[in-house]
A and B are shown apart, each in its own frame.
Chain A
Amino acid sequence: MPEPLEVVSGAHGVIVRVTGRLDAKSVPALLARCAEVRANGGHLIVNLSRVEFIASSGVGTLLSVAEEFRKAGRRVRFASPSAPVLSVIQLLNLEPFLPIDASEQDAERALEA
């Protein structure tokens, strides 16, 4: 069973914390939650510090969320990605497309700006 998402309200947006694996099984829940936030008109921070494994479907989801938020005029930040997440993102040279912050606080500050 994929680990449940932790959702908290931050100062400038909703914070979704992902734990465990980000693969085909856990992706639908994340997509749904992000779509909700987008529909409610808010900004989003996705905390990836506790992601121990990311598959292609996970990467695709992050990209697609980033794109959808950009199209909707909302903002999304990806906070403190774990080493596995960072490795894969760097392998694919995706940093330009995924706004990454070292920590949740940095992400909040970025949203504030």
Chain B
Amino acid sequence: MTERKRKVVWSIRWIVAGAAVLLTAGAVLSVGAVAERNTRKALTAEIETRLLLDARTLALASTGAMLGDYPELTLHPLAKELLARQPELDVVVVTDIRGVVQGHPDVRSLGQSYALPARLRPIEDPHRLAPGETLGEDGGTLLAAVPVTHPDGRRLGLAVVGMPRSYLDGVITDARRQQVALLALFLGAAVLVPLVLVSQLLRPIATLRHGIERIGRGELDRPLVLRDRTELGLLATAINQMAGELKQAQTNLVERERLAHEMELAQRIQRSLLPKGTARAGAFVIQGYHRPAAEVGGDCYDVFDLQGGSVGVVVADVAGKGLAGCLVMSMVFSLLRAYRDSVASPASLLIQVDQRLAEMLEPGSFVTLFYGVLDPNGRRLTYASAGHNPLLQYRARDRSVTQIATRGIPVGAIRGGAIASTLEDRTLELEPGDVLVQYTDGVNETTNARGEQFGLDRLGRTVAAAAGGGTSSVIDAIVAALAGWTDQAPPADDETILVIAQQAKEDPARILFSGDAEELLRRARTRGLTLALPARMDALEGIGAWLRTCPPARALPERDFTLLATTLYEVCANIVEHGYREDPSRSLDLWWVPDDRGETLFLVRDDGAPFAPDAAADLDFGDPRVRSKGRGIGLQIIRRATRQAAYVPGTREGNLTVLHFPSQREEAQRARTP
């Protein structure tokens, strides 16, 4: 299973804030850059203009003096004054027409010769120089030269003013520094303001994120608290609602699981209520069938031993399904178990049950009950029916089916014991081959697609056709007919069928176990010979040796002994392999159960996993594929060596296997019969 990687989540806040900062900073920087360039240009232009103006002013101011006889007397102080006013200038010169310095801040320079540097690089001209004017740069000096002219246009001389380039650069640098400082300030603001603003606006997102993560972890109890008027507030509300619904769904799910679990428990209760296997009582064979419509059914049947050797049979139907029906059923059966041995008459028993049950049942709820007692030494069924369906009786003699109805009312239907007057014991004498069928509504009231009920007549005909084959054949036939009637649709109501057949031939069969393998276990534990086996294949080798130590073994012919040992080995091997998967720390118990009638009876108890042995249908060894595989032989051995082998899984004591081997008397009889 791959691990889910923690998703990398990019914070919206940082993205938006970052973008805002970048944008604003970018804007500020670009504006700043452009402004800086323009400033530089303007400053330079301004300084150059000023220089030029200074030169022009000097030239104008020098005009008068140049016309006089001693120009230097005026011009020297003039130059000095100019320099004093603008100390950054490093050239202040006025020359006459011949290039002789007439004006200069420094007296010593007067009378010298001065000429403009030859290689004067002219500055690009935005200044609109007048003719004769020069503005240029030489090395590190910026020079402006303006001719001194007589009002009538005569050239009198030249005025030159110059400043070092470095001064200009200095001014620009200062200006730039100021600008940068301002820029930095704005940049700071540009970073901070968007950051703060966006951060604040989007702070709810952090809250949202934590809230969502909490929900993701399953903490649905704390709602998101977000007081925000933007869409984020709406989102928070929606999320809270969603979390609430999620919590509700979870609760529902937990509730459903709990119910399912209870249902499962009820199913188990019901299963343990149902008897297992086919029971025999004297010449009677009794077999039941139950299919619930929902997980647990509202009807049930039971077969049990009574004191004195009789066998009791019950078919019951509770009005109401599901858990409630099953619990009522459980109560009914408990009551029956409590009273059945002390009340001989079925009608009286039902009246007793009604008395007790009426206190416990809800109004409107009732139970139909059929209760019968079979006398195994004879052929008689004594029964009473509290509102249950008509009993179907098939007579082998004339192959007829009769519906025997009674007028009893259901248990719990009317309080106050009114039931007593409606119930009475009835008896039936059965002949060999006769079959009795009791059932619940789910059987005869099964409707097909057209809404027609299966009905008692059809049921009777089905029974009649199958009666010759014994109880299983009758049950199989009814089940198949119902399936055909509804076209394999799932049952709408619980189906319960109880079939009692009297065997056609006298067969000294005895009750092996009538749904009470646990009773056999009790007998085994108190009076049986036992062997405990660890769940290991090689431990099973000891079975033969143990058998030889059992006194009853001495009476057995060698062949019988071999088959006994082999069969027991096979049964235990099945359990060790399938039930325990060879876990030597677990064990199984084997008993030779004493039987007063001389039967050879074994019981195996294990608490491994119950398994469903393959239906031991007859293997066809004529098929080479079957021979090649060589499998399924163990079950064949068990089936053929025993008279009856029954597997009863999931009892309170674990899984029980009951093995009934033919007694010597039977073997002798079998040998005698052709």
Hey, which bits of chain A sit against chain B, CB under 8 A? 21, 23-25, 53-57, 59-61, 63-64, 66-68, 70-71, 83-84, 87-88, 91-94, 96-97
Residue count of chain B within 8 Å CB distance of chain A: 27
Binary A-proximity of B616-634 (CB < 8 A = 1, otherwise 0): 0000011010011111011
A53 B565 Cβ-Cβ under 8 A:
yes
* Cβ contacts A to B, 30 pairs, < 8 Å: A23-B541, A23-B569, A24-B537, A24-B573, A53-B544, A55-B570, A55-B573, A56-B634, A57-B630, A57-B633, A59-B630, A59-B637, A60-B629, A60-B633, A63-B621, A63-B633, A64-B630, A66-B627, A67-B627, A71-B624, A84-B562, A87-B559, A87-B566, A91-B640, A91-B641, A92-B621, A92-B636, A92-B637, A93-B621, A94-B621
A24 to B570, CA, bound (A): 11
Cross-chain contact A53 with B566 (CB below 8 angstroms): yes
Q: Is the CB of A67 within 8 A of B640?
A: no
Cβ B627 vs Cβ A63 within 8 A: yes
Q: Which residues in chain B, 554-591, are within 8 Å of chain A measured between CB atoms?
A: 558-559, 562-563, 565-566, 569-570, 573
Closest approach, in angstroms, between the C-beta of B26 and any C-beta of chain A?
84
Measured in the bound complex, the distance between the Cα atoms of B537 and A23 in whole Å is 10
Complex: chain A residue closest to B633, CB-CB: A56
Assembly CA distance A50 to B106 (angstroms): 148
Residue B506 is within 8 A (CB to CB) of chain A in the complex:
no
CA distance A88 to B631 in the complex (A): 15
In contact, A88 and B621 (Cβ under 8 angstroms): no
Given A87-B566, A97-B621, 4 more pairs with CB closer than 8 A: A25-B538, A59-B633, A88-B562, A92-B621
Q: Which residues of A contact B640 (CB under 8 A)?
A: 91-92
Contact pattern, B 528-561, Cβ under 8 Å of A = 1, otherwise 0? 0000000001100100100000000000001100
- Which residues of B sit under 8 angstroms from A55, Cβ to Cβ? 566, 569-570, 573, 634
With CB as the reference atom, state the residue of chain B lying closest to A70.
B624
B582 to chain A, nearest CB (A): 10
Contact residue among A54, A67, A68, A93 (Cβ-Cβ distance under 8 Å from B566)? A54
Least CB separation from B544: chain A residue: A53
Is B566's CB under 8 angstroms from A21's CB? no
Given contacts A88-B562, A88-B566, contact A97 B633 (CB under 8 A): no
Q: When the two chains form their complex, are residues A83 and B633 in contact, meaning their CB atoms are under 8 A apart? A: no
Q: Is B637 a contact partner of A56 (Cβ separation < 8 A)?
A: yes
B626 to chain A: closest residue by CB: A63
Contacting A83 at CB < 8 Å: which of B562, B621, B628?
Answer: B562
Interface class of chain B by DSSP: helix
> Which residue of the partner chain A has the closest CB to B628?
A67
In the complex, what distance in Å separates the CA atom of A103 from the CA atom of B401? 62
Q: Out of B544, B624, B637, name the residue touching A91 (CB < 8 Å).
A: B637
**Measured between C-beta atoms, what is the minimum distance from B538 to chain A in Å?**
7
Bound together, the chains give a CA A3 to CA B563 distance in angstroms of 22
Query: What's the least CB distance linking A24 to chain B, in Å?
Result: 6
The residue in chain A whose Cβ has the minimal distance to the Cβ of B624 is: A67
Residue of A nearest to B569 (CB): A55
Q: Are B541 and A21 in contact (CB under 8 A)?
A: yes
Roughly how many angstroms separate A55 CA and B577 CA in the complex, as a whole number? 14
Q: Would B628 and A56 count as touching, CB distance under 8 A?
A: no
The distance in angstroms between the C-alpha atoms of A24 and B569, with both chains bound, is 11
Q: Which of B441-498 contact A (CB under 8 A)?
A: none
A68 neighbours in B (Cβ, 8 Å):
628
A24, A68, A71, A91 — most chain B CB neighbours (10 Å): A91
Looking at B566, B622, B637, the one whose CB has the most chain A CB atoms below 10 A away is: B566
Residue of A nearest to B638 (CB): A56
Within 8 Å CB of A54, what residues of B? 566
Closest residue of chain A to B630 (Cβ to Cβ) is A60
Provide the residues of chain B in CB contact with A96, threshold 8 Å: 621-622
**Which B-chain residue is minimally distant from A64 (CB atoms)?**
B630
Give chain B residues whose Cβ lies under 8 Å from the Cβ of A24: 537, 573
Residues of A within 8 A of B569 (CB): 23, 53, 55
A61 to B634, CA, bound (A): 12
Nearest-neighbour CB distance to chain B for A81, whole angstroms, equals 12
Chain B contacts of A57 at CB under 8 A? 630, 633-634
Q: Whole-angstrom distance from the CB of A78 to the nearest CB of chain B?
A: 14
**In the complex, A91→B633 CA distance in Å?**
11
Distance (whole angstroms) from the CB of B208 to the closest CB of chain A: 67
CB-CB < 8 A to A94: which residues of B?
A: 621
> Are B563 and A97 within 8 A (Cβ)?
no
Contact between B627 and A97, CB atoms less than 8 A apart: yes
Q: Which residue of A lies closest to B625 (CB)?
A: A67
